[in-house]
Amino acid sequence: MHEPDSKFMLRNCLRKHKNDSAENLYDLLVVEGKIAELAPAGALTPPREAAVYDAGGRQLFPSFIDAHVHLRDPGFEYKEDMQSGLCAAVHGGFGAVMAMANTNPVNDKGAVTGFIREKAARICPRGPRVYPVGALSVGLMGEELAPMGELAEAGAVAISNDGRPVQNNELFRRAVEYAASFGLKVIDHCEDADIAHNWQINEGGGSLHTGLKGQPSVGEAVQVARDILFAEYLNLPIHLAHISCRQSTDLIRWAKVRGVPVTAETCPHYLLLDDAKLHSYNTNFKVSPPLRTSADVAALVQAVQDGTIDILVTDHAPHAAYEKDTPFDESPRGFIGLETAVPLTSALFSAELLEELWCKKPAEIFKLPRNNFAPGDPADFFLFDLETPWVVNRDNIHSKSLNSPWLGQTMQGKIVAHWLGGTQIFSCEDSLCLPKPL
């Protein structure tokens, strides 16, 4: 990281538009940490004393927002800590992350929320920003409402039970209502705890082949249905976490037609991987909810394209190597995802849709600031080089953990530089893709 130039221009940034056959190059002017202007290449004259960099035709994106991350800090710093997690985030293109509450202690108190925010600000004063998500119930135990007013005051931006499904419908209803009193939205990890007891894998061909205990996709869908009914009845918003199956997308599509205030997210892995990957018991493919069938994968891609699914999240869930090097049943669930998300999803969706899924809509749903490249917006942006391949391995991953289903595989496209508040947080200085001062 170097000190911010008070004024600088980044020339020859590629911006792709859905309806343009041509790819357009732009110049970006940043002044005092804010966007001053984005204009077609060559249209701007750099102000006197402004440093000028050449983006070399690499794609310019506003910093993305990951609304579902497990930073593991406090309590599980051997898996990830604030430093490593935020380093992974910024290298993955994320300028802001929402940190889930299943830390130790659980983030069910204002003091924990405050600790997370203060630690993030201390370690990464220029960002990425961390927006804590408060627990829905005390200790995430699903018995007693967490003090949401206190959590909101301390800076929690949403409420979630992530990782611990709320089985008690009455408690869930009251949580949605009470959270709304403080302007907080409930994010629900939809999973019926009885149907999905001790599961290891999607129920169907995968469980049949491996002899592992299955979780049927209806275990998710019954709670999606419950949440839709509550959202409509209460006329209060509910955000549905990491949707993984066709039945859920069908229900959400139906709900949206009815005008029910639900929003939904999915993760890159549900758009790319199916349960056939699990036949070899590779624990790096074990995740919650489980990878479903190829038909579910197709349904999710469709649901993202037609707007049924509002946003993408990584559900970045680091685990130590020794925790994953076990028989399948003993392995914890979850993947790291911050650093692979952009290359993976850039292969699926247009640049314009990526911006909506990873930036515009999460900012809207959770009322977070974002860069829309309008004058005065925070100068949070990154350059993405679609031409650069890289391998998912210890040398290239900044997260403390390596539990990725893409471990050892080649990603196409690399984030080569990232600025937050006009400050360059990193650039790949050793590579040819460094934006050089002219």
Partner 1 sequence: MENFPWPHKDLLDVDGLSIAESQHLLDTAEQFQEINSRAVKKVPALRGKGVILFFAENSTRTKTSFDIAAKRLSADTFSLGKNDSSLTKGESLKDTALTLQAMSPDIIVIRHALSGAASFLSDKVDSSIVNAGDGWHAHPTQALLDAYTLRKYWRDKNQTMQGKSLLIVGDVAHSRVARSNIKLMTALGLQVRIFAPKTLLPKGAEHWPVQIFDSLDKAVRDADAVMCLRLQLERQAAGLLPHLSEYAEKFCLTRRLMDLAAPGAPVLHPGPMNRGLEVADDLADSSASLVLDQVSAGVAVRMAVLFLLGTRKSGAFPA
- Binding residue for partner 1 (CB under 8 A) from 40, 42, 47, 211? 211
Q: Which stretch binds partner 1 (CB under 8 A): 91-99, 118-126, 213-221, 346-354?
A: 213-221
Would you call 131 helix, strand, or coil by DSSP? strand
Closest distance between partner 1 and the C-beta of residue 167, in Å? 16
Q: Is 296 in the site for partner 1 (CB under 8 A)?
A: no
- Binding residue for partner 1 (CB under 8 A) from 110, 214, 378, 421? 214
Would you call 121 helix, strand, or coil by DSSP? helix
- Residue number with CB closer to partner 1 (203 or 385): 203
Q: Is 210 in the site for partner 1 (CB under 8 A)?
A: yes
315 classed as catalytic: yes
What amino acid is encoded at 182 in this protein? Answer: F
Question: Residue 295 CB: number of other CB atoms within 10 A?
Answer: 11
What amino acid is encoded at 45 in this protein? Answer: T
- Binding residue for partner 1 (CB under 8 A) from 24, 181, 294, 326? 326
Q: Which stretch binds partner 1 (CB under 8 A): 10-18, 122-130, 196-204, 409-417?
A: 196-204
CB within 8 A of 429, min separation 6: which ones? Answer: none
Closest distance between partner 1 and the C-beta of residue 214, in Å? 6
Closest distance between partner 1 and the C-beta of residue 209, in Å? 8
What mask of x and - would describe binding to partner 1 in positions 266 to 295, judged by CB under 8 A? Answer: --------------xx--------------
Note every long-range contact of 386-391, with CB atoms under 8 Å and residues 24 or more positions apart, other chains counting. 386/58, 386/59, 386/346, 386/412, 386/413, 387/413, 388/413, 388/414, 388/416, 388/431, 388/433, 389/413, 389/414, 390/414
- Residue number with CB closer to partner 1 (329 or 387): 329
Q: What's the CA angle centered on 158, arms 154 and 164, to 5 degrees? A: 110
Closest distance between partner 1 and the C-beta of residue 228, in Å? 25
Q: Do 381 and 367 meet the contact criterion of CB atoms below 8 Å apart?
A: no
For the chain, give the longest Cα–Cα distance: 69
Would you call 44 helix, strand, or coil by DSSP? coil
Closest distance between partner 1 and the C-beta of residue 298, in Å? 18
Q: Which residues ranging from 23 to 82 are in contact with partner 1 (CB under 8 A)?
A: none
Q: Which stretch binds partner 1 (CB under 8 A): 10-18, 138-146, 207-215, 421-429?
A: 207-215
Query: Which candidate in 27, 188, 315, 380 is catalytic?
Result: 315
Q: Which stretch binds partner 1 (CB under 8 A): 76-84, 155-163, 200-208, 346-354?
A: 200-208
Residue by residue, DSSP assigns 52-87 as EEE-TTPEEEEPEEEEEE---TTT-TTT--HHHHHH
Structure tokens at 423: 């400050």
Q: Do 188 and 161 meet the contact criterion of CB atoms below 8 Å apart?
A: yes
- Looking at residue 316, the DSSP 8-state letter turns out to be B
* Binding positions for partner 1, rule: CB under 8 A: 200, 203-208, 210-214, 216, 280-281, 322, 325-330
